Structure 1
């Protein structure tokens, strides 16, 4: 079920969503310009690596083995990782989901609050991934944790929306209007299930970051909805 668009138009231009898409694309194009060794250094410097926090010797051994020094602050990577991507499909998929769900959430929160919410959601998602992968030496990159937070807020704020989705059935394309609450609940459930199995399969996908970001978005959405009704 791939989302194409939703049925609730935003009242204002989602300038923050536009800016986030642009900056992610620009950084990815920069990644594409790097040599293989430089790209590896870039991803390990700015991607989030749990082992940098839990294994003091790992960073030193990494430098000896590869000759690449990790000069970026390991705490800064909780922020920087969400602006990197591992490939075109990774980038396009994330930016598409951000465009589908982000405009309405930005409309509800306002530009500045949405920007802060997006960054905080990405950090919370990274902390969730960190908690489940304390010794991992693989850098996580991508905006999906922050975008999961956007989807969590959408789940609370726009449950009666419809998500027009592409559903391949018997090799034929179908467009189906799926209730947003159902679509997003199923999506979240799949992240949790995949996260449980991924502890064994080790696919490299940060499913727990997705789940953590989604929960963060729900909490912010509930706060926003409560404050709205209070007025």
Structure 2
């Protein structure tokens, strides 16, 4: 999962009433998990052998969310063992019965903390840090955590419904973060967001959240159709759309309630 952006957000002008410790904890957890993944060392080296690729594939297969498994609620019969073998077509990964018990439902949770590359990780964490802190500030830590997980699950199962026969593992926090963006758009549409436009050089620009995040959603919906990008098969745009829509719907209900910890207050002044 990844984010195609015409504007890269770097900071929002939206005051906080408290330190967003849960947002920081989620960012830290994602970074730590990535450092423990086989892909962390492989991407730093810059060269990946067939054995390393098979090791990574086995890891992702075990902890990632596979659409076919999610919808059938069945464990896989054959999985990569982490060993590379030579075939007439070249190097491949040896398959075998899994030596572990996998829960398809829990795999959605574990998949939220896996990332395929440093770029994937850092991009997601940038968006979580910028937009997640205000949603945590509005909801409080416990409700924000529940909100984050609900959006992540909605994104995982939403993507599975669009491709029910897929055996490609889904990884990344993008779906849950998309839900955060949807809620942010609904609750703080007029908040100003500083971003960089990557045209020849990075040009700073301050725009309202409704414009930046609205453009983001339109792009995701367009890419989810399979048009406009050559990477549609490797990025779960449908998961982004599902997470965003669920986050926006929840945001409408939250917008009508006072901010957590501030009775009678609608939120930070614009």
TM-score w.r.t. length of structure 1: 0.91
- 5 Å matches for 1:4-15? 4-15=10-21
Distance 1:27 1:57, change over 3 A: closer
Runs (5+) with no aligned partner, structure 2: 1-6, 43-51, 82-93, 265-270
Q: Tell me how far apart the structure 2 counterparts of residues 56 and 216 of structure 1 sit (CA, whole Å).
A: 23
For 1:191, the equivalent position in structure 2 comes to 220
For 1:16, the equivalent position in structure 2 comes to 22
Are 2:54 and 2:80, in contact at CA under 8 Å, matched by a contact in 1?
no
Secondary structure (helix, strand or coil) at the match of 2:256 reads helix
Larger Rg belongs to: 2
Bigger mean CA deviation after superposition, 70-79 or 204-213: 70-79
Q: Given the alignment, which residue of 41, 50, 54 partners 1:37?
A: 54
Secondary structure (helix, strand or coil) at the match of 1:72 reads coil
C-alpha RMSD of matched pairs (Å): 2.5
Q: Given the alignment, which residue of 15, 22, 47 partners 2:64?
A: 47
Q: Tell me how far apart the structure 2 counterparts of residues 18 and 11 of structure 1 sit (CA, whole Å).
A: 15
Distance 1:53 1:213, change over 3 A: closer
Secondary structure (helix, strand or coil) at the match of 2:104 reads coil
Q: Tell me how far apart the structure 2 counterparts of residues 184 and 148 of structure 1 sit (CA, whole Å).
A: 10
Q: How far apart are 1:61 and its partner, in Å? A: 4.2
- 5 Å matches for 1:154-173? 154-169=184-199, 171-173=200-202
Report which of the two has the higher share of strand.
2
- 5 Å matches for 1:149-228? 149-169=179-199, 171-197=200-226, 202-228=232-258
For 1:60, the equivalent position in structure 2 comes to 77
> What is the number of equivalent residue pairs in this alignment?
230
Runs (5+) with no aligned partner, structure 1: none
For 1:102, the equivalent position in structure 2 comes to 132
Q: Tell me how far apart the structure 1 counterparts of residues 74 and 209 of structure 2 sit (CA, whole Å).
A: 46
Q: Is the aligned partner of 1:143 residue 2:173? A: yes
Distance 1:58 1:136, change over 3 A: farther
Q: Tell me how far apart the structure 1 counterparts of residues 251 and 162 of structure 2 sit (CA, whole Å).
A: 25
TM-score w.r.t. length of structure 2: 0.78
Are 2:151 and 2:176, in contact at CA under 8 Å, matched by a contact in 1?
yes
Are 2:75 and 2:103, in contact at CA under 8 Å, matched by a contact in 1?
no
Q: Tell me how far apart the structure 2 counterparts of residues 131 and 20 of structure 1 sit (CA, whole Å).
A: 27
Report which of the two has the higher share of helix.
1
Are 2:73 and 2:105, in contact at CA under 8 Å, matched by a contact in 1?
no
